[in-house]
Amino acid sequence: MSARILRGNVIRDQIREELAEELQHLHGAGIRPGLAVILVGSNPASEIYTRNKVKSCETLGIHSERLILPEKTTTEDLLSRVEELNGRDEIDGILVQLPLPSQVDSKRVLLAVSPDKDVDGFHPVNMGNLLTQRPGLVPCTPAGILEILKRSAIPIEGQRAVVIGRSDIVGKPVALLLMHHNATVTICHSRTRDLPEVCREADILVAALGKPGMVNGNFVKPGATVIDVGISPLTDRAEVVRFFPGDAKRMEEFERKGSTLLGDVDPVSVLPLAGAITPVPGGVGPLTIAMLMVNTVRAARLRRELHAASGSAQPTVPVAS
């Protein structure tokens, strides 16, 4: 028996339909959420990511601006751009595309983004809101993982969840979200002893360690749900054959592009064991941009609710039911 495939593209489309309905309400109230995406330099992958984010905004009717700055941009230059965007009321979300060039202090730049416009959810204020279950902006990939689980009717409450990886971007926030939904959560990392044994306790296993194909059948309890967050290019033919034996579609892609994508999970050994699994590509990835759109709309709503609470004349934003 093979695992049920949890297709992120389908869930992304559901979220887009719901957002389109909510945006109709916002437009009717004279509000068009706005997102500014800052790209420094000419990293090819970052250029693709930022274009896709702007394209998603255009599809939904969210105002978007893509600011492309020179490779030699300094920390002070970037801080000045962020401060300008912080002060623009038509911009509800600011996203600084990572990685930044080595001369830029990434931590200073991310900290400079106003917490109420931090649609990545990385600011310490938003992390604190997540920790204490207050309203705020949640990191996009962890939020997308929760949507996959909930919309796929995967039980969370009372389940054992194991997260491999303790990054601020995925590991820690997804562990908090699972805990807030009443899972019993273990976070594993490079110093965890007997890692496969710990992972085999999981009803929900989240692989977010950035090591392609490391999680094999020895890590997985039969029937577990496996969420594969990793995404790495395979450029070695022998590796493609090892991880995708007999997969003509993968080999055709490799011949055409010179690479194919692999997550942190070895599909050959895990698929026969898992009860459900996210594919790579087409699993968690599509939800990251979808949740960025959700955060942009949420930021627009939260900002105006705060204005209203402080006595501003700005209207509160109706929420689509």
pLDDT in tens, 118-160: 999 999 999 999 999 999 999 999 999 999 999 999 999 999 9
Are residues 171 and 272 located together in one domain of the fold? yes
Q: For the residues 203-223, what does the mean pLDDT come to?
A: 97
Question: How many other CB atoms are there within 10 angstroms of residue 241's CB atom?
Answer: 15
Q: Distance between CA atoms of 307 and 318, rounded to whole angstroms?
A: 14
Q: Compute, in degrees rounded to 10, the torsion defined by CA atoms 205, 260, 240, 199.
A: -10
Q: How many domains does the chain have?
A: 2
The answer to whether residues 11 and 67 touch, using CB atoms and an 8 Å cutoff, is: no
Are residues 155 and 247 located together in one domain of the fold? yes
Q: CA angle 272-276-278, nearest 5°?
A: 105
Out of 75, 97, 114, pick the residue that ends a domain. Answer: 114
Element (H, E) at 198: helix 195-199
Are residues 185 and 265 located together in one domain of the fold? yes
Say what the pLDDT of residue 45 is. 85
Write the DSSP assignment of 93-154 as a string of letters: EEEEPSSPPTTS-HHHHHHHS-GGGBTT--SHHHHHHHHTT-S----HHHHHHHHHHHHTT-
Active site includes 120? Answer: yes
Size of the chain, expressed as the number of residues it contains: 321
Are residues 150 and 252 located together in one domain of the fold? yes
The answer to whether residues 25 and 318 touch, using CB atoms and an 8 Å cutoff, is: yes
164, β-bridge pairs: 188, 207
Residue 315 has pLDDT above 50, yes or no: no
Are residues 148 and 109 located together in one domain of the fold? no
Q: Which domain holds residue 202?
A: 140-285
Are residues 162 and 240 located together in one domain of the fold? yes
Listed range (16-25, 225-234, 305-314) with the worst mean pLDDT: 305-314
CATH of the domain at 258: 3.40.50.720
Tell which residue, 131, 125, 93, has the closest CA to residue 111: 125
| 8 falls within a domain | no
Are residues 148 and 280 located together in one domain of the fold? yes
Q: Is the peptide bond before 139 cis (omega within 30 degrees of 0)?
A: no
Sheet of 34-40: strand order equals 63-69, 34-40, 93-96
DSSP structural state of residue 265? B
pTM above 0.75, yes or no: yes
pLDDT in tens, 58-110: 999 999 999 999 999 999 999 999 999 999 999 999 999 999 999 999 999 99
Are residues 174 and 97 located together in one domain of the fold? no
Active site includes 103? Answer: no
Say what the pLDDT of residue 304 is. 86
| 218 falls within a domain | yes
Active site includes 92? Answer: no
Catalytic entry in 92, 116, 118, 120: 120
The answer to whether residues 194 and 164 touch, using CB atoms and an 8 Å cutoff, is: no
Out of 76, 96, 114, pick the residue that ends a domain. Answer: 114
CATH of the domain at 56: 3.40.50.10860
Are residues 109 and 226 located together in one domain of the fold? no
The answer to whether residues 300 and 31 touch, using CB atoms and an 8 Å cutoff, is: yes
| 168 falls within a domain | yes
| 17 falls within a domain | no
Write the DSSP assignment of 213-261 as a string of letters: T-B-GGG--TT-EEEE---EEE--HHHHHHHSTT-HHHHHHHHHHS-EE
Percent of the chain with pLDDT over 90: 91
Are residues 266 and 203 located together in one domain of the fold? yes
Write the DSSP assignment of 69-96 as a string of letters: E-TT--HHHHHHHHHHHHT-TT--EEEE
Are residues 152 and 246 located together in one domain of the fold? yes
Are residues 101 and 153 located together in one domain of the fold? no
| 304 falls within a domain | no
| 128 falls within a domain | no
Residue 311 has pLDDT above 70, yes or no: no
Round the average pLDDT of the chain to a whole number and report it: 93
Strand-strand pairing, 160-164 and 225-228: unpaired
* Amino acid at residue number 277: I
| 258 falls within a domain | yes
| 150 falls within a domain | yes
User: Backbone phi, then psi, for 39, in 5-degree steps?
Assistant: -120, 125
Catalytic entry in 97, 203, 264, 266: 97
Element (H, E) at 36: strand 34-40
The answer to whether residues 289 and 55 touch, using CB atoms and an 8 Å cutoff, is: no
Contacts of 136 (CB under 8 A, 6+ apart): 115, 121, 125, 126, 129, 130, 302
Catalytic entry in 53, 117, 172, 221: 53
Strand-strand pairing, 232-234 and 260-262: antiparallel
